[in-house]
Chains A and B, each alone.
Chain A
Amino acid sequence: MDAEKTLRISQVGLRGVVGAGLTAAHVLDFAAAFGTFLDRPGRVIVGRDPRASGIMMREGVIAALLACGHDVIDLGIASTPVIQHTIRRQNAAGGISIGASHNAVEWNALKFFGPNGTYLSTAEAGELLDIYHLKKFDFVEWDRLGHLSTDERALDAYLDQLARVFDLEPLEHFRVLVDCTNGTSAPILRRMAERFGLNLILINERMEGVTFAHEPATNRKMVALQLAPLMRHVNADAGVLFDIDSDRVALATERGEALSEELVLPLLADDFLARGPGKLLITNLSTTALLEEIAARHGGQVVRVPVGRQATIDALAGYKPEQIAIAGEGTGAVMMPQFRFIYDGIASMLAILSILDRRRLKLSDLVESYPRFSMIKGELPLETKRMPQMLLDLEKRYPDARRNVVDGLRLDWASRWIHVRVSQTEPIVRVICEQRGTPPTALYDEVCDFVRGYAA
């Protein structure tokens, strides 16, 4: 792999392939920049996913934070939501999650959290990036260095919090098949089953550093391949697929149908809006229009922001927490107000189960109670310099559509929409197209051909 192309340093943090772009020096510099960015010395929570390169990165992160005078609480292998939860519980200055989430095993990344356990805002992340580039770090003198400790209570305290928000006892009668993808969800779920008597059947539960049982993606294709075929054999009520850092899920029904990853947010949004009518639902421009219908039922409103975690984080900061019912994206990543808006796959799983319990429904019945929307997603290569003209021309090509140019171009009609956006990391165009009812194949193909016309 080409070294330059595997390293991404941006406001989202540091990401790359270890051994081909992402080096120990990047880790030290970024962690030192974060240690400098945190304006008061204080505790910093650190955890990693099971990737082998995380062993190396953890050492560098700890060294840099101690050198900046921060006490480090190391959670070892821990999910991102557990890290975020512990930051709040320990009243820490911030946290770092070492892990590449849904990326392939050879990738790794650093994600940074502020004192509330939430991702840094774009402004904060920009400041962090500036310090990283300046490489002027505030290393403290020998007698003010930080100390390293652990927190044996982290997992149980996180589970306590889940048990406060969800009534777990009625969920005991559900049989749930969970594919942990060899990631951080396994120890959490095992402990949860042990403490609260949940009936969870775990597969791919061994945390692996070098080989994951399958691609760590939470989407319908992966559910269909890995999880759905097993559902009838184990007679489970629901199937849940986790990514490596346990912040996203995808679902399979008791009948063995693989659900679109787009459905997780609408199912939860309906429930949260029902209990908080009139509130806001924050999502991105590429996520299903089913959300607008659901919001309308409860007098709520959908706030659409550009794609990417950062835009969602910034949008959340613009409202009071009590104004927001839920936030999330079509990738299966959902944030709930009870968890102070952190993406949490395990909370999403419990929320789905508790809907099934309260409404006395099978998962397939619940899904069928919603109107059907069909989405097609794809990507096309295009030279970066050709993109602006293509987008301008595309807008003219469909004068009857309502347009939104906040992130690429989104065109809306009464029962369908198409979103054409430019990747931030590769010279490609992503096309997302959705229609109420049958798949919008004709529109999707037409737009793809239009884009291909600029590739020549």
Chain B
Amino acid sequence: MSRAHQLKIGVSGIRGVIGGFLTPNLATAFAQAFGSYVGPGRVVLGRDTRTSGEMIEHAVTCGLLAVGCEVVKVGILPTPTIQVYVAETRARGGIAITASHNPPEYNALKLFNAEGLFFNHYERGELIDLYHQSNFRQAPNDEIRRVVMDTESAPSRHIARVLKHVDVERIRRQQFHVALDSVNGAGSVMSVRFLEEDLKCKLDAISVDPTKPFPREAEPKPETLGDLRGLVMRKSAQIGFAQDPDGDRLAICDETGTILDNDDVLALAVDCVLRRLPGPVVVNLTTSAAIDDIAAAHGCQVYRAPVGEANVVERMKAVSAVIGGEGSNGGIIFPSVQYCRDSYLGMAMILDRMAETGRSISELAARLPRYYRKFGKAPFEHGRLGGMMQELEAAFPNAQVDRSDGLKLLLDEGWIHVRASNTEPILRIAAEARTPESLAALDARLSATLR
């Protein structure tokens, strides 16, 4: 891990490897900056199931109390659930202690404003300046507030919001046979309750023990979901759901044991929403053109934002989008519940669509516009990035160019998106085309140029 970032302090918060990198001291200082920024008032604090969560939770609580905030601890909860709770309880802000899909040695702080949303670009800049200035508010003894526990109400608040947007009775009548893999993460307890009690599914669940370590790689993707696939096949489940450790991302396994492409999951959700609620759609630059086809079919407009949940949410608010997300990483954002990636909304919506149409999940996926995609990465040297991007542009002279996040080249046969990772010194490369042949051709030209 020569230059992989074991500690990253930047506009998206603080993230790092526990031990010598992400220390309690840093977490406390960052919480002090956050608390100074949102002001003395209630701040909601929750976490995922990582072993370091408890330690970081105490460090963050210390920092928040030191600047005069009251801390409302909601315990182990999915990130979207924490965000809904922040918004509903009119807190000054919230912090989720989670490194999301990163490996277990990592942890991080996700920071939310009073509406339970990621801070916008300018606010994030201000916050990081405040952190570096280190001139935090210091509450004297008589201004130190309490720590309040509320580990009960948050799941109900979130689930109630989700269920408002689906036909609950229609889903319940189906008594869907569902498989679940919660990676022993923050969704473990709540997802079982949601599927079994709220949606009356017949559930076969694995990895739903929040006291156990992650049994698989944290990111839910085809290579890591072998156990879920096996469970679906063995139990003849109609659908399998997989979450990441903080319950914001959703992956789906169909009844044949095939893990759906993340872009297809988002496409299904977009289709569900636009049928009932036509309006603007926002996705990131790496998301499939299938979204454009679906939106066009409903007469709706698609906007593209730079990669990153905060960027997508910011754009969604600006254009009053009805649905959005990031196909590339399994995030569905439905503002009527909350401006955040929400696996629960995704599960409910897909089950509702299956109930409505009577079709299996594989049939629904098969009806989506078909594109072929390839994702890759390549290392690059510092100082070489600009030159590489220019060479790429020159290699595709007829392309329509979007430089808002790395370089995206739109071509007749498909598109290419190349961007530098925020967390590692690598280029992330994505390409999509209508046919396998044209994808192969695109890929060949791309590889030749990058080499």
Contact = CB atoms under 8 A, between A and B. Distances in A.
B141 A53 contact: yes
B79 interface: no
B18 A59 contact: no
B62 A140 contact: no
A187 B450 CA distance: 72
A59 B65 contact: yes
Contact of A18 (B51, B105, B140): B140
A60 B65 CA distance: 10
A56 interface: yes
Given A63-B62, A137-B23, A25 B29 contact: yes
Contact of A60 (B18, B51, B52, B58): B58
Interface in A14-41: 17-20, 23-25, 27-29, 32
A59 B67 CA distance: 13
Interface residues of A, number: 39
Given A23-B138, A142-B18, A63 B144 contact: no
Given A28-B59, A66-B54, A142-B19, A60 B140 contact: no
A57 B62 contact: yes
Interface stretch (A143-151, A282-290, A390-398): A143-151
Contacts of B147: 55, 59
A209 interface: yes
Interface string B202-219: 000000000000000000
Contact of B55 (A18, A52, A56, A67): A67
A64 B25 CA distance: 8
Contact of A148 (B27, B29, B54, B136): B54
Nearest to B21: A139
B341 interface: no
Interface string A37-71: 00000000000000111011101101110110000
A70 to B, nearest CB: 11
Contacts of A19: 138-141, 143
A123 interface: no
A314 interface: no
A145 B55 contact: yes
A106 B58 contact: no
A327 interface: no
Contact of A141 (B19, B50, B54, B141): B19
Contacts of B139: 18-19, 56
B182 interface: no
- Looking at B19, B25, B63, B105, the one whose CB has the most chain A CB atoms below 10 A away is B25
A29 B409 CA distance: 50
A162 B104 CA distance: 47
A63 B24 contact: yes
Interface of B: 17-20, 23-25, 27-29, 32, 50-52, 54-56, 58-59, 61-63, 65-66, 104-105, 107, 136, 138-144, 146-147
Q: Can you list the 8 inter-chain pairs with the closest CB atoms, starting with the nearest?
A: A19-B140, A63-B59, A59-B62, A60-B62, A56-B65, A63-B58, A24-B66, A63-B24
Interface of A: 17-20, 23-25, 27-29, 32, 51-53, 55-57, 59-60, 62-64, 66-67, 105-106, 108, 137, 139-143, 145-148, 209-210
8 contacts: A17-B140, A18-B138, A18-B140, A23-B138, A25-B25, A29-B25, A55-B144, A210-B142
